[in-house]
Amino acid sequence: MLIYPKIDPIAIHIGPLAVHWYGLTYLAAFGLFYLLAVRRLSHEPFASVQGPGAWTRRDVEDMLFFGIVGVIAGGRLGYCLFYKPGWYLTHPLEIFYLWQGGMSFHGGMLGVIASQWWFARTRAKPFWQVMDFVAPCVPTGLAAGRVGNFINGELWGRFADPSLPWAMVFPQSGSMQPRHPSQVYQFLLEGLLLFVLLWLYARKPRREASVSAVFLFGYGVFRFAAEFFREPDAHLLWLKAQTGLSMGQWLCVPMIVFGIVLYFRAQRRPLPASA
């Protein structure tokens, strides 16, 4: 049985400014996105696009900028609406208290979709082509975020059998009983494994929207599975008790369904000419 290694959430102090590890993991996520997106420029069908619609590094930079705005705004609003709507309805100004924490992947995903829709519209690029370009570059950022969760000692898992070799005690949970390190599970599943599968799948030209569909389905399934080992938020235990599923699982259901529908609709589209 392991004991959570107490880690100072503040990485460095620069005068009165405290730089948190969690903020650095966001920077790492954005940096990884940029590096992978530049590599995507050499993949088909993007490498073969010519003329005004050709893909360039400037496109990657603009997509990243819009994506950062979408992640932060969507992630925060999603957390407020999905997880604590009553509280933020009565305390609306606290929506802007980002330093208090509280971000939602599903909200961040909707924010990214909205930002990339705007990018596609202003650059006259097909929306699903843009989303197919982005999708394989996202999971490493999710993995970085789970590292931040682990460093903060948050989002711990449910109680585990003490004989489990990697069962871990999280003192900040208020209990000294061993738990599943669910942050690590999510790092491995929706981060590394999803990245490897999606990157390999997207290396070959695919019908438009196919890569996006695989991302939606893959993330939804991996997150749904990981939620069985993650402790639900205390204020949402009632949802788990009444439905048998956590809020995270309920939010994954439409992702999985839409991913399946989108994939089969995508198969009606023609293959790119570069295939």
Q: What pLDDT score does 25 carry?
A: 94
Span 21-43, pLDDT tens digits: 988 999 999 999 999 999 999 99
Judge residue 5's burial from the number of C-beta atoms within 10 Å of its C-beta, 0-12 exposed, 13-18 middle, 19 or more buried.
exposed
Written as six digits, the tokens of 62 are 């603009």
In the chain, where the domains are located: 17-151+161-266
Q: What pLDDT score does 96 carry?
A: 82
Judge residue 178's burial from the number of C-beta atoms within 10 Å of its C-beta, 0-12 exposed, 13-18 middle, 19 or more buried.
buried
For tokens 């699982």, what's the residue? 249
Span 56-111, pLDDT tens digits: 999 999 999 999 999 999 999 999 988 888 888 888 888 888 767 788 888 999 99
The rounded mean pLDDT for the chain is: 92
In this predicted structure, the answer to whether residue 267 has a pLDDT above a threshold of 90 is yes
Nearest to 154 by CA among 132, 130, 171, 134: 171
Q: What pLDDT score does 275 carry?
A: 63
Residue 263: pLDDT band with limits 50, 70, 90: very high
Q: Residue 168: in which H helix or E strand, if any?
A: strand 168-169
Please indicate if the annotation marks 158 as binding a ligand.
Answer: no
Residue 135: pLDDT band with limits 50, 70, 90: very high
